[in-house]
């Protein structure tokens, strides 16, 4: 009877464990995995911690950049009965210099984006839409005209006019909703302008002001903004052909209010002490290489990176420029942490610093990318403001920025 009772109890324990089914996706940083593996158990301590065993899975070595190792966790009841296995990540130790510098951003797109359409009024007075009739829509990107790559609106206008004068159709290669298509468009002569047109408004570049998030002095790599750069009219992501960041001088602040986000008003400082390239435009920011000198009065050397599992609700600091090029430190409160999201909305933050609230009303445009530091670690960046409450907004995990930049490499099981 006792044996049967023991078997029943054991079965119930097994069912309880399997229904509990803990999901552990990430362990905090361990500088020396070989010697620290035994110390990992407290990070997942709980009812079943005494029956958990760790088995390391070798990770493929990479030539450069920190690597997140994949580790196999095996759960055993009483250290005997195997119940479940799962993979977790052991994050590497990493340090970066927080930013806070105001930057001017110019971005040249791959191809030329269609941002609007307008009728071409021909010699007969009729309104025509040559490009639209051929299937080209707002948000599409023109890549080639007659097999010739186009990079500027001037190039498009010139090729269209030349084809019209020759009474020839244009073979336009363009990207539409991720697909590359080819269509023939016939330009129409516009007497008012004395030139041929196809009825499109196009744009080849974007510019604005943002904030530097981090800088790695060992590689000169940087990250900024914390969110993607989209075209202002189409809200489509701009694919990068080339781009540049320089220091920006802030002249004034338009204070945010309910229903109307504020903004920083500034100008590009072309003679600044630093500049950089833009190599990637991703959902969590822009990334590239800097040259020159950066001076942050709050951080003379790199500080540790805090991974998403280390981010806690509670007080933190942000760093941003309100006047000229002087970086300031301001208090915020992290109200909510949303783990395992890969976009740029991972934290809900509230500005609590009375100085920042008095000058800006909270979060304003141009503050995107302002680094967030908590407990001495760089954990993320400011990304968005709530339209109906400018004191609150979103932040992105620094971990997500590092993944999208390619700086944090993935270690896969061998």
Residues annotated as part of the active site: 227, 353, 368
Q: Can you list the pairs that 331-336 forms with residues at least 24 positions away whose Cβ atoms lie under 8 Å?
A: 331/356, 332/372, 334/372, 334/374, 334/395, 335/392
First to last CA, the chain: 48
User: Cα separation of 318 and 328, whole Å?
Assistant: 8
């Amino acid at each position: 009877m006792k044996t049967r009772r023991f078997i029943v109890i054991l079965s119930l324990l097994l069912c309880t464990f399997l229904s509990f089914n803990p999901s552990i996706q990430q362990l905090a940083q361990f500088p020396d995995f070989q010697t620290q593996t035994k110390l990992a158990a407290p990070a997942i301590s709980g009812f079943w911690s005494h029956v958990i065993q760790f088995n390391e899975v070798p990770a493929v070595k990479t030539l450069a950049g920190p690597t997140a190792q994949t580790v196999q966790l095996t759960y055993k009841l009483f250290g005997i009965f195997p119940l479940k296995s799962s993979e977790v990540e052991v994050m590497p130790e990493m340090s970066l210099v927080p930013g806070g510098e105001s930057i001017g951003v110019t971005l040249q797109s791959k191809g030329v984006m269609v941002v609007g359409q307008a009728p071409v009024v021909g010699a007969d007075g009729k309104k025509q839409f040559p490009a639209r009739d051929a299937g080209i829509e707002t948000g599409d990107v023109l890549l080639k005209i007659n097999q010739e790559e186009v990079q500027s609106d001037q190039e498009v206008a010139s090729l269209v006019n030349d084809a019209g004068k020759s009474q020839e159709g244009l073979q336009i290669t363009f990207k539409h909703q991720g697909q590359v298509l080819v269509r023939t468009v016939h330009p129409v002569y516009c007497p008012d302008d004395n030139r041929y047109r196809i009825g499109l408004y196009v744009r080849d570049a974007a510019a604005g002001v943002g904030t530097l998030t981090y800088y790695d002095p060992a590689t000169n790599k940087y990250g900024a903004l914390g969110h993607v750069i989209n075209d202002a009219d189409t809200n489509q992501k701009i694919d990068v052909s080339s781009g540049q960041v320089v220091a920006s001088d802030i002249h004034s602040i338009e204070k945010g209010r309910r229903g109307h986000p504020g903004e920083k008003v500034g100008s590009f400082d072309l003679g600044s002490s630093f500049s950089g390239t833009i190599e990637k435009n991703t959902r969590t920011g822009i990334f590239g290489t800097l040259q020159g000198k950066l001076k942050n009065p709050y951080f003379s050397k790199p500080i540790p990176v805090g991974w998403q599992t280390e981010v806690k609700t509670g007080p933190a600091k942000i760093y941003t420029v309100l006047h000229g090029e002087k970086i300031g430190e301001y208090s915020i409160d992290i109200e909510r942490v949303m783990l395992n999201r890969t976009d740029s909305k991972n934290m809900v933050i509230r500005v609590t610093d009375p100085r920042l609230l008095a000058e800006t009303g909270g979060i304003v445009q141009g503050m995107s990318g302002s680094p967030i530091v908590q407990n001495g670690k760089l954990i993320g960046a400011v990304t968005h403001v709530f339209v109906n409450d400018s004191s609150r907004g979103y932040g992105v995990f620094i971990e997500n920025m590092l993944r999208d930049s390619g700086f944090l490499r993935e270690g896969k099981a061998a």
